[in-house]
Structure 1
């Protein structure tokens, strides 16, 4: 089935298959439309429409989406459209947008795409926190921390997962996802103030994948400490470009990235499909 996809998608799918992140039965083609689902790590269910080329006909592409969802038996999936600032999917990716909405997808959240580039001043880590690699901590302790971070979170996906599946399920999924990221073992860390965990930051091989502070320590600037640590970790590893994202409505996190020297380079429009 990968042969139905043009390059570079074909090679990307083959590499993802080798990593257990996609399968031939998750890939579909019809006419000029192409579709592939992707899981974040081996053994996980697909969570995102990863390769989607709708071709010129939104109705045919919508039918391909519906067929893929029926065949895989998924109960939820998401899809991202990334654009430069000022552009909108309704106008600038009209065929894609029409196909998604016709298949039952709804655009629920707009996210900022942020970037730190080499040559930008590195954020200062004030040294208030000490850091322990999450892999060296008891899994139950990290899971408990993730559950506490989810309390009052302004992140749309976190809010939806906690409301529909529960905080424990959301924390378990996030923990598994972060441990399976391409990253050095010591990059994913928990910041402590004395013996008290304040929050965590999880860089991977290209991005700040996750950052969060527990409720009782919010409003004291600790997100800046965690972000400085994560950014410096990747910069010192030689990355020339670090990407990140946060919901447009999550103003505190967005402002933390801007203070750390990140700049907005685009917008990501996230669409969701749910069986219900």
Structure 2
């Protein structure tokens, strides 16, 4: 078995784009792959093949990054031909080769339909992917709901319960620290086992500042008397507007204020002409999921995220 990155040769990139979508897990179409290559979010050195002795491609992995990323950020697509007897072994070898070349282990997003556990073929396809990821160090698992808003869902009018204003970097850092305490977000809980809330706040601040959205969009949410209630960080992806980060400080939770903050983000994006707003939340974060439901966001897919634990 030979594991190698694609070359910049047109024939090799055509081979990567034309690889058939074996199995029930959705794969990117050829046009989308070429579009991502043109945008520098896929790169030849981030596309890897597993080949047999005759040069037949048995597996393909596509890693994704932002246009300015030095290394890939996520594994977007992993496929092994249906006739391969041990797909987990081939996939693990392919991932290990890629990780060694990159010098890191990007997380793996598996996009799935709702109710995917009821389909035996789909469960089997996820199982070998999960096993390959676990063998290569991606042993932490989070299941997330991906939501979308469309203009037909409308927007809620402001109620006056909260006032939104711009804030300084220091104010937002303090808000990040306060929101982390008691958070139901699994990633936040996991990160707090490896670092203190102040370091996590700095990391989160840097992450959202580097997203395609603008820092000027961020707002602190306050009660009419000036008491901090939470914050709203509208954001964007390379493809569309995104909810970004939102939350309520612990002492103000349980009063429905998350609805007010989500409504502010939705109004902001809609007011700038957004035709689609995406968002994600963990399946176990039922209060946040309920807020999305109330705001007219609809679940479009499940994302199974496999990643390397901190300190691994």
Matched pairs, number: 268
* 1:241 equivalent in alignment to 2:272: no
Task: Specify which structure has the bigger relative contact order, considering alpha-carbon pairs within 8 angstroms and separated by 6 or more residues.
Answer: 1
Counterpart contact for 2:111–2:304, Cα < 8 Å? yes
Aligned equivalents of 2:201 and 2:68: distance in 1? 18
1:48 to 74, 80, 86: 74
Pick closer, same or farther for the CA change 1:99–1:251 going to 2, 3 Å: closer
Aligned equivalents of 1:147 and 1:90: distance in 2? 43
Which position in structure 1 is the counterpart of 2:142? 109
CA-CA distance at 1:228 after TM superposition: 0.5
* 1:79 equivalent in alignment to 2:108: yes
CA-CA distance at 1:107 after TM superposition: 6.4
Which position in structure 2 is the counterpart of 1:207? 242
CA-CA distance at 1:41 after TM superposition: 7.9
Pick closer, same or farther for the CA change 1:248–1:139 going to 2, 3 Å: same
Aligned equivalents of 2:186 and 2:120: distance in 1? 21
1:14-58, CA deviations, whole angstroms, 9 ceiling, x for partnerless residues? 4245xxxx7654443323333344456846764422343444442
CA-CA distance at 1:169 after TM superposition: 2.9
* 1:254 equivalent in alignment to 2:289: yes
Q: TM-score, normalised by structure 1?
A: 0.84
Q: Which moved more, 1:37-46 or 1:218-227?
A: 37-46
RMSD: 2.7
CA-CA distance at 1:93 after TM superposition: 6.4
Q: TM-score, normalised by structure 2?
A: 0.75
1:228-263, CA deviations, whole angstroms, 9 ceiling, x for partnerless residues? 000111112222222211111111111111111222
Larger radius of gyration between Structure 1 and Structure 2: 2
Aligned equivalents of 2:38 and 2:230: distance in 1? 36
Pick closer, same or farther for the CA change 1:171–1:50 going to 2, 3 Å: farther
1:127 to 156, 160, 166: 160
